[in-house]
Amino acid sequence: MAEQPVIPPLGEVLAGVRVVALPMVTRFRGITVREAAVFEGPQGWTEFSPFVEYDDAEASAWLAAAYDYGWGEPAPALRPAIPVNATVPSVAAADVAAVLARFPGARTAKVKVADPGQSLADDVARVAAVREVLGPEGRIRVDANALWNVDEAEHAIRALERFDLEYVEQPVATVDELAEVRRRVSRLGILIAADESVRKASDPLAVARAGAADVLIIKAQPLGGVRAALRIVAEAGLPCVVSSALDTSIGLAMGASLAAALPSLEFDCGLGTAALFESDVTDAPLLPHAGEIGIDRVVPSEALLEASAASAERREWWLARIARCHEVLTARA
User: According to the 3-state scheme, what is the secondary structure of 229-267?
Assistant: HHHHHHHHCCCEEEECCCCCHHHHHHHHHHHHHCCCCCC
- Report which residue type is found at 190: I
Is 169 within any annotated ligand binding site?
A: yes
What number of other Cβ atoms are within 10 A of residue 43's Cβ? 15
CB-based contacts of 135, cutoff 8 Å, min separation 6: none
Pairing of strands 215-218, 240-242: parallel
- Ranges of H-type helices in the chain: 10-15, 56-71, 96-100, 120-134, 150-160, 175-184, 196-199, 206-210, 226-236, 249-261, 302-307, 312-332
Q: Report the residue count for the chain.
A: 333
Query: Looking at the annotation, which residues are catalytic?
Result: 112, 219
Report the distance separating Cα 63 and Cα 43, nearest Å: 15
Instruction: Output the known binding site.
Output: 143, 169, 195
